Structure 1
Amino acid sequence: MSVRDTTGKPRALMVRAGGLLVALLAAVGLVLLPVPAGSQARAASGTSDSAVTKSGTKGPLDDFSKLKVTVDQTKDLTDQGVKVSWTGGAPTKTGASPFGFDFMQIMECWGNSPNGPDRDQCEWGNAPTVSDFTAIGRRVAYTHIANGTVTDLDDPRESLPATPSGQVLPLRTVTGDTSTDVTKYFTSLTTNAQAVVATGSDGTGETIFTLASGEQADYAGCGKVASAGAQPSQCWLVVVPRGEHEPDGAAPSYGLRTSPLSQSNWDQRIVFKMDFKPIGAYCTVGQKEQPTIGSEMAQEAITSWQPTLCTSQNVNFDYLEQSSEYVRQQVLAGSQNGQLGFVQDPVVASPGSPPVVHAPVTVSGLAIGYNIEANGSTRQVPRLRLNARLIAKLLTESYQCDVAAPHGQIVHGKLSKNNAQKLIDDPEFAQLNPGFTGPVVSACRAGLQVPQGQSDYAEILWRWLRSDPDAKSFLDGKPDEWGMTVNPAFRSAEPDISSLNEFPKPDPTTILPRPDLPNLPISAVTMNPYASDLHDDAIRTRAANNKGAWSISTSLPPSYEQTPQLPGQYFMLGLTDTATAAKYRLGTAELLNADGQYVAPTEDTLTKTVAGMKEGSVAGVLDQDPGLKTSGAYPLTMVTYAAASTGLNATSRSDYATLIRYAAGLGQQPGIGNGLLPPGYAPLPTKLHDQALAAATQLVAGAPASSGGTSAGSGDVGGTSGGLSTGGSSGSLTGGGTSAGSAGSAGSAGGTAAGTTSGATPSSSATAAAAAGGSTSGGSPNGHNVAETGSKTPGLLLGAVRWVLLVVLIVGIAGSLAGPLLLRAGMIRAGGGAMFPFRKFSRGPA
């Protein structure tokens, strides 16, 4: 008699329930697990991802239906430049000014309506422009007849009551305040509105528009978050195309005069939604903080990494820009007060002191950023070449326009009569830039914008000038081929430039435009004042306004009068870093390297330069010699190190190691979102990546029992890679761990130099070679390699956990379905049978 197993059904139910429970728990884990650091950022890896193109419309008087306007970036925005370009427009025609008809007017606006902003929510009203151009201001609603004559200014669609002098449209801020006096919020010197932008003869045009976040323009509030969980305040870019008619149908020969805010003009607007990064919405106030200070060469990268680090590690890494010497003092300040500092040159600990580790975190460079418009256009010139001697002339105030003098005086101060008035008048500049298409301007133009204060990057720049034979000869007092000599005031004040690490302006020449105002003299610093930093240089260059004064205002009380350059006449140079130049869309000059090539700063040329660097006097810190002969190298390439003392307390060492590991890992993935490596940087070569991880491990370990000095890996860079491959094993982000194992094969950084010269040396012969067209332009690479790390960062750990949970989810579901069947099979087999038992045939008695 067989016995039936009554436990099979309950067991099957238990197996199915268990599988479903496992799947449920895995699903909950996938939902609740925090997003890996940088995940949101990786979705926005470049400006083209958020480019938007919109078409114009046909109006009652002018047809803009063929017009197509493109904004190259509309997401992940901050204080920066965006490129606005268009096709299908009508060529700009002259009137009383060069911009009479058929032009663009561009402004930044705000407002949370999904349909876009109202016209009173726009920054418009006092943008600088050329004389006789009057289609500006906020006056609308003119009467058709004033003093018995037709005004051509009335707008049939205008809703405000008309008056002979027009009504001023009030400005309404993001908080709801209104005022007809826009100078409470912005002036002609601070506004980002572009009063007029021309369209070329081919119907195309372009400009760089500088956006302002709520940090720079609180009345607009772009990106500001009102409360926890709220959406960032919405902003917009508005392009108003202008044709050949005023709203009343008139086509006056002197050109258009009505405001773009007049209702009929405003109806033709093209609106772009601009999504700013949230301001103040990432890092929790009150959670643990760790200070970092140092070189602004790393600033754009640090500010990109901060939100990811503070949310994934619950540590707010503050950053404060400081002079190089102060940074060194703070790095060596001791266990309680010491900080992590960003430097290009090493921090050397005194004998017997705890060692200092140096972890490379960024590869970038100094750049001569420019905003130069092609003559008769508002397009930026595509190429600019400079050599070390031209830079030396600019830095030593050796052009006539660099020194104060009464109006009309040819020779300024104690300069030689052979010295050119300004850079574009220099025969050497003309030889390097044949066919230069910049503006033809006879008046003086500001020289090179530079920051005040000591820095490692300034020391490297002067080192480049000393390494170039022509520049060094000029600085030593010898004339160039055209008879131009260094400013004697500079030579007298700085006879030895071998250790110069700042940009002095020693010329004492002053003039008094008004003798009755002796407290308002004009000097070289008045005309071309110092910027606060490289970032400020870039902003001034993009705005074509160095905040200098060449005259005294007639208003009361008397003051210096700033005169920004006007559209179609921009010519401004500024010393900045490559990341900030990219942020504000500045042109960057090609510089003559020691191999006789003119090279622009690109990811490819920066990487090539680092590959040629040798180890310096401190182990593990490269000698950033701009005079090395490396083909395709950009001479002002710089590696920035995170320097920290092993004598810091254990918590600080662990936190700073976390920062270093992230910076060398996911922080090297190029892109524009939070947590990524912004444009203008090149990813760390593999060897520098490994060195950074080793430095982090050494930092966590702390100072050995008895040692002193400086430590940070060793060896030349050797081969490089544009992306880092995962290899070996390492500790966790916050633990001690081990350094990354051998890196996998690494791809090229991408892109090649656009051309080469024969190996001309940086002497006078190189000038002639450049004029003949020899170049290594370092065109932008085709793409970035994604930087990964052998170190397990929080993002990688979370990503791995997600994959494990996904597998568990699948297994759980499969188990809930197949488990009972397998259990049944097991029970049958346990009883000596099978799911499909063979029949046994009896052969009968033997």
Structure 2
Amino acid sequence: MSPREAGAARRRRGLRAYSAAVLAWTVAFMTALVLLPPGAHTIATAHADSSSTTVQGPAVWIPATQTYGANGTVSVAQTTNLVDQIVHVSWTGFTPSSGNFVTVGGASWTTLLYPVVVYECRGVNPQITDCYGSSHYGQSAAAGFQQPSASAGLQVPDFPNNEIASVTHADGTGSADIEVYTANQSPTLGCDSTHQCSLVVEPNYGGDATGLDGPPNCADHGQDRTGGRMATGSGLWLTDGNGFGDGETCAWKNHVVIPMSFAPVAGACAANVAGVSAEGQPMLDRALAQWTVGACLNSADPVSLQYSSDLTEPEARSDFLQGRSGADMAFTSLPADPAATSKNPYTYVPVGSTGIAVTFFIDNPGTRLPITGMKLNARLLAKLLTQSYDVYHYAGAKSDIPSVTGNPTCIFSDPEFQALNPATGGVFWPNCSTAGNGLDNIPIVMGGSSDLVTELTSWIASDPDAKAFLSGTPDQWGMHVNTFYKSSVYPYPISTFVPQDGSGPPNNLQSGLPFGTSPTSIDRFGPKMQGFQWNPIQSGLDDVARHMLQATPSCISWQFDTQSGQNDKCAAQTVGSRTVMAIMDTGRAAAFSLPTAAIANGAGAYVAPTAPSMASAALDYVTDPKTGTQSLPWGSSHSGYSGDTAAYPLTVPNYAMAPTSGVSSAKAGSIADFLSAATDTRSGQLPGNQPGQLAPGYVGDSPAQLGQAGAAIAKIRAGAGPGGPVTVTATGPVTGKPTTSGNEVVTPVTVTKNGTASVSYSTSTLGGNGGANGGDGANGSSGSSSKGAAGPAGSSGPTHNLSGSTTAAAVGKASADTAGIGRLILPILLIIGLVLVAAGPAALVLSSGGVSTKLRALWPQAKRRFGR
């Protein structure tokens, strides 16, 4: 080869290397834009950040020598930019507690010596009258402790008590997690961006606080350990001889104050900014809270969103379709029925994804410390949610409950749970006799119809093992479904949890004799004891979370209150022996730093809800050609999801249903502006705790969803103006099967608008090895069944469509809005251009030698890292 030819060959190789390098740099850059933000936080992690603060604590009291020692320390994980969330507080160098373990919320710690209380208080120099949950909250600051204790009704005037009581371990350390309230939760506390609040950590080191022989004398420790004079446990609220609430006097002398500042709340928004009203999707409310504040504080184009999260998705969809006041938009996970009539044409705008989490407080009976990891599959959740454990049974019982006879007493004695969660490495699970006989670990769930319940039970019904169990087939260890929940009479999926079993044993469990019928005998509840087990929380997801934080199960006690004529609710569980679980959204699980279970996904891997695992699942979404909305293809063995070991299985999309016509230009502009901010990768899709950012517990739109969002928002802006009732019906393929070319599926759809029929075409992409006889679409089509509906004949249950990502917007009661990626084309081209310019010189350097070899060697590792 001549030198000239050799030079030409080198130049050709250089050009090829240059092109490859440019492509690699472009792919890497774009991948970073998509993948890095979701990985910025992990679900169920305490929010420690740069504002973590450690301050000096009080001098420790040493009971053995009756002297004070060195000062301790108090640390708070986050003190600025706070929202309604859990804040972790810890301390060192405190007097070790003794006596009974404390119950969260201060319910059962009357004999505890040297307890520690954590309050949220008004201002940065609070008095006891400023501390929420204290017996003097809201009373006269000048009178201090020299006033009667407030009655229970006045103690927490505008929200449940968030005071936390805790213990100090033998080494002088301890901790507590307190939910801090903003002005939205407690107007009397009023904590927001312009009104600072504080945490008060108050160790009780004894002293004669009640002053039974005269005024309080905190230097008198003579009777500390008797509990008569020392404010021990509930003695903090003891009164003196004059009826004054002096019990906390001495403890208050040891208190430590840590100032806190809060992020802006919706009340900071100006009343004159452009307003939009919205309803629905309680699972999204924590993200919406940050977006709402960010939008109204936007100095360039402020928008105020009046959002009602106490209405669930079915209610919100109905209100939106009917054009009711307060429903300019509806937030939802599932689409509306495509055949339902709507006042205005509309589209779906994807605004990210959330997840359904199973949270738990389960304490190791050996160490009394919380267990941090747990695995669950669909069948185990089906067992829990159908009351299938024989919770009242015990060895030697003379009778049993027919609906669950022969089943394990609780989940911890279930061989299936034990196989997934072996007692190894120092982890021991509670036995059922110490787990409230099984009553206390039936999950706390929300009542009412919601997408959360529909999504969760659709996932359960798509699992072959869970489906068989629900139909009446016992598992391999012989456990069977509670007969009242058998799918022949109570078929999954469902949209609301309604307890089905109110039965009981035929005879007394202890004696085997018939139950007594006397009105004063507890026996009269025996024939219906199953009805006391489980009561879904009707007051929403926030209350589910607070039941969880307080470790208060949703069961009802047999203890009968003759004054109220009702049975008492089950008491809060004691820290150190908790066995409570709850089902909620990942946004709340993250905000409250709750442990979450790892759930079995379509590839058989057990995955916890983290930002990367939810982002991975979002890339596996498939599209319903009837609505343009997406979901995970549960139950499909021919999809990207079925092979994705990194995907969290209970990841669900979030959509805004928004009008594309029939509203004023100003209203359309405000809706579009809000949704533009929420879907902007520089703000609403960027993870963080700042106003306008994406709250912890959520992940942003996938690239395909960003394209759909951009085009849908453009339709909203372009369609402003008068409009009337529109009727659109998507009736499916006009003739025959969809046309398939490679993995592209083109489906002709008949659309009838105001009586005029036309044909439109929906293009989608098959995932994995889908196709004829794939079990995911009738007759080998891409399918169109939605979650919650019965699957096609011969399928394994409710299915999602086996179609890949498309940019089709919704076909609802609107014309078929087809959303493209127009908004993203120009930015992408600009980015690619900049990358080409920047990568050119580097590519020439990297095209030869060891550097390029090392870079090429990294690519397979990257693919493995992201599970692709």
Give the TM bin, normalised by the shorter chain: 0.5 to 0.7
Could you say which residue in structure 1 is the equivalent of 2:126? Answer: 117
CA distance in 2, matches of 1:615, 1:179: 64
Could you say which residue in structure 1 is the equivalent of 2:603? Answer: 595
- Aligned pairs for 1:38-53 (under 5 A) are 47-53=48-54
Could you say which residue in structure 2 is the equivalent of 1:369? Answer: 359
Determine if the alignment matches structure 1 residue 302 to structure 2 residue 271: no
CA distance in 1, matches of 2:601, 2:332: 23
Change (3 A) 1:406 1:120: farther
The code of the aligned residue for 1:331 comes to F
- Aligned pairs for 1:284-295 (under 5 A) are 284-285=270-271, 287-295=273-281
Could you say which residue in structure 1 is the equivalent of 2:497? Answer: 503
Structure 1 SS opposite 2:599: strand
Could you say which residue in structure 2 is the equivalent of 1:572? Answer: 580
Structure 1 SS opposite 2:268: coil
Determine if the alignment matches structure 1 residue 546 to structure 2 residue 553: yes
**Contact 1:59/1:268 (<8 A) preserved:** no
The code of the aligned residue for 1:297 comes to M
Q: CA deviation at 1:122?
A: 3.0
- Aligned pairs for 1:773-792 (under 5 A) are none
**Contact 1:372/1:571 (<8 A) preserved:** yes
Change (3 A) 1:104 1:648: farther
Determine if the alignment matches structure 1 residue 196 to structure 2 residue 166: yes
CA shift digits 1:484-512 (9 cap, x unpaired): 11110111774432x42222211132799
CA distance in 2, matches of 1:703, 1:193: 50
- Aligned pairs for 1:77-96 (under 5 A) are 77-88=82-93, 92-94=97-99
CA distance in 2, matches of 1:190, 1:68: 29
**Contact 1:617/1:623 (<8 A) preserved:** no
Q: How many residue pairs are counted as aligned between the two chains?
A: 635
Structure 2 SS opposite 1:449: coil
The code of the aligned residue for 2:662 comes to L
CA distance in 1, matches of 2:142, 2:400: 51
Could you say which residue in structure 2 is the equivalent of 1:211? Answer: 180
**Contact 2:354/2:585 (<8 A) preserved:** yes
Q: CA deviation at 1:634?
A: 0.7
CA distance in 2, matches of 1:438, 1:182: 40
Could you say which residue in structure 1 is the equivalent of 2:199? Answer: 236
Determine if the alignment matches structure 1 residue 484 to structure 2 residue 491: no
**Contact 1:198/1:378 (<8 A) preserved:** no
Determine if the alignment matches structure 1 residue 316 to structure 2 residue 304: yes
CA distance in 1, matches of 2:142, 2:456: 46
Mark the runs of 5 or more structure 2 residues left unpaired by the alignment. Answer: 1-45, 104-108, 209-217, 237-246, 506-514, 636-640, 731-759, 769-819, 833-864
CA distance in 2, matches of 1:637, 1:176: 53
CA distance in 2, matches of 1:101, 1:326: 48
CA distance in 1, matches of 2:137, 2:113: 27
CA distance in 1, matches of 2:517, 2:50: 55
**Contact 1:358/1:621 (<8 A) preserved:** yes
| Alignment counterpart, residue 380 of structure 2, candidates 390, 406, 426 | 390
| Alignment counterpart, residue 700 of structure 2, candidates 672, 683, 701 | 683
Determine if the alignment matches structure 1 residue 698 to structure 2 residue 692: no
- Aligned pairs for 1:407-806 (under 5 A) are 413-435=401-423, 436-437=427-428, 441-444=434-437, 445-446=439-440, 447-491=442-486, 494-497=489-492, 499-509=493-503, 515-516=518-519, 524=530, 526-531=532-537, 532-546=539-553, 548-554=555-561, 556-562=563-569, 563-618=571-626, 620-627=628-635, 628-629=641-642, 630-651=644-665, 652-665=667-680, 666-702=683-719, 708=728, 739-741=823-825, 744=828
The code of the aligned residue for 2:380 comes to L
Q: How large is the RMSD of aligned CA atoms in angstroms?
A: 4.3
CA shift digits 1:214-245 (9 cap, x unpaired): 44445x514169xxxxx426343324265999
Change (3 A) 1:174 1:450: farther
CA distance in 1, matches of 2:281, 2:92: 41
**Contact 1:336/1:649 (<8 A) preserved:** no
Change (3 A) 1:266 1:306: same
Change (3 A) 1:455 1:251: same
Change (3 A) 1:639 1:475: same
Mark the runs of 5 or more structure 1 residues left unpaired by the alignment. Answer: 1-44, 126-137, 139-168, 226-230, 720-735, 747-779, 782-846
Structure 2 SS opposite 1:529: coil
CA shift digits 1:545-566 (9 cap, x unpaired): 1354213345634433232222
CA shift digits 1:652-693 (9 cap, x unpaired): 332221121111011112112322211111122233223211
The code of the aligned residue for 1:503 comes to F
The code of the aligned residue for 2:671 comes to Y
CA distance in 2, matches of 1:173, 1:678: 38
CA distance in 2, matches of 1:198, 1:716: 59
| Alignment counterpart, residue 273 of structure 1, candidates 259, 265, 270 | 259
**Contact 1:95/1:254 (<8 A) preserved:** no
Could you say which residue in structure 1 is the equivalent of 2:35? Answer: none
**Contact 1:691/1:713 (<8 A) preserved:** no
Could you say which residue in structure 1 is the equivalent of 2:56? Answer: 55
Q: CA deviation at 1:464?
A: 1.5
Q: CA deviation at 1:48?
A: 0.8
The code of the aligned residue for 2:179 comes to T
**Contact 1:338/1:648 (<8 A) preserved:** no
| Alignment counterpart, residue 335 of structure 2, candidates 346, 351, 365 | 346
Structure 1 SS opposite 2:167: strand
CA distance in 1, matches of 2:266, 2:599: 39
The code of the aligned residue for 2:166 comes to V
CA shift digits 1:365-409 (9 cap, x unpaired): 0001122334366643211211111100111111233x8x99996
Larger radius of gyration: 1
Structure 1 SS opposite 2:55: strand
Could you say which residue in structure 2 is the equivalent of 1:105? Answer: 116
CA distance in 2, matches of 1:62, 1:513: 60
Change (3 A) 1:254 1:473: farther
- Aligned pairs for 1:8-157 (under 5 A) are 47-59=48-60, 61=66, 63=68, 65=70, 67-88=72-93, 92-94=97-99, 104-112=115-123, 114=124, 116-123=125-132
Structure 2 SS opposite 1:588: coil
**Contact 1:580/1:680 (<8 A) preserved:** yes
Determine if the alignment matches structure 1 residue 172 to structure 2 residue 187: no
Q: CA deviation at 1:278?
A: 5.3
Change (3 A) 1:420 1:314: same
**Contact 1:691/1:712 (<8 A) preserved:** no
CA distance in 2, matches of 1:474, 1:691: 39
CA shift digits 1:446-497 (9 cap, x unpaired): 3111112222232221222122222112111111232211110111774432
Q: CA deviation at 1:82?
A: 1.3
Q: CA deviation at 1:541?
A: 0.8
